[in-house]
Amino acid sequence: MAFDYRLVKRLVDLLVCAVVLPMLLPVLAACAVAIRLDTPGPIIFGQWRTGRDGKRFKMYKFRTMVRNAEELKAELQHLSIVRWPDFKIIDDPRITRVGKILRKTSLDELPQFINVLKGDMTLVGPRPTSFSADTYALWHTARLEVAPGLTGLWQIEGRNQASFDERLRMDIKYIATMRPMGDLKIVLRTVPAVLLRKGA
């Protein structure tokens, strides 16, 4: 991948954050207040994710689950409807009342703009996994060539309906054809995908 493209991509990330974050401040504040009033625990939740070159970083989200959600995960593993190492439960009992709204609207993802500012993530790219790179099959590692994204191809084409392998194929397709106009199209298509909760 050309260095110039990565540089342009980084500059665009910073420019978008500078423009968008001030406008989002009232929304971020409202989400924070709602979470605080709903259940005890931190407002922002940091979860370890796998980024470019397999490096681990803390990805930030608004907390949408009860405080001990990670401890309960092991107990609920048998209810997961997707194959390990993915994890997804229908009507997950760990999700709070406010958390359900935040997830349906994807507002819980907004703190990831902090990760974009830090350089851990970019606006468009493969979504980061919670499991480490040593659980990947060899062909899966192709997605680690680029920084993970706030949104990506699978979010607009498959959302949560896609299996991990299907998402990987979308990631590889994106990496092979990534370009500025392609990123812009994905961003523009993300908005209706989120609003219509396509595949969520």
Average pLDDT, the chain: 87
C-alpha angle 50/154/107, rounded to 5°? 75
Strand partners, 56: 50
Tell me whether residue 45 is in a domain: yes
What band does 199 get if pLDDT is binned at 50, 70 and 90?
Answer: very low
Tell me whether residue 200 is in a domain: no
Tell me whether residue 152 is in a domain: yes
pLDDT at 168: 85
What band does 78 get if pLDDT is binned at 50, 70 and 90?
Answer: confident
Tell me whether residue 172 is in a domain: yes
Identity of residue 53? D
What band does 86 get if pLDDT is binned at 50, 70 and 90?
Answer: low
pLDDT at 2: 46
pLDDT higher than 50, residue 63:
yes
- Domain span including residue 32: 3-195
Identity of residue 47? Q
Give tens-digit pLDDT for 22-39.
999 999 999 999 999 999
- Residue 172 burial (CB < 10 Å; 0-12/13-18/19+)? middle
- What is the residue-wise DSSP string for 32-47? HHHHHHHSSS-SEEEE
pTM to 2 decimals?
0.83
What CA–CA distance (Å, rounded) separates 185 from 17?
18
Tell me whether residue 21 is in a domain: yes
Q: How many domains does the chain have?
A: 1
Tell me whether residue 62 is in a domain: yes
Cβ-Cβ contacts under 8 Å for 186 (sequence gap 6 or more): 124, 151, 152, 153, 156, 174
Identity of residue 129? T
Structure-model confidence comparison of residues 73 and 52, the more confident one: 52
Tell me whether residue 124 is in a domain: yes
pLDDT higher than 60, residue 81:
yes
pLDDT higher than 50, residue 43:
yes
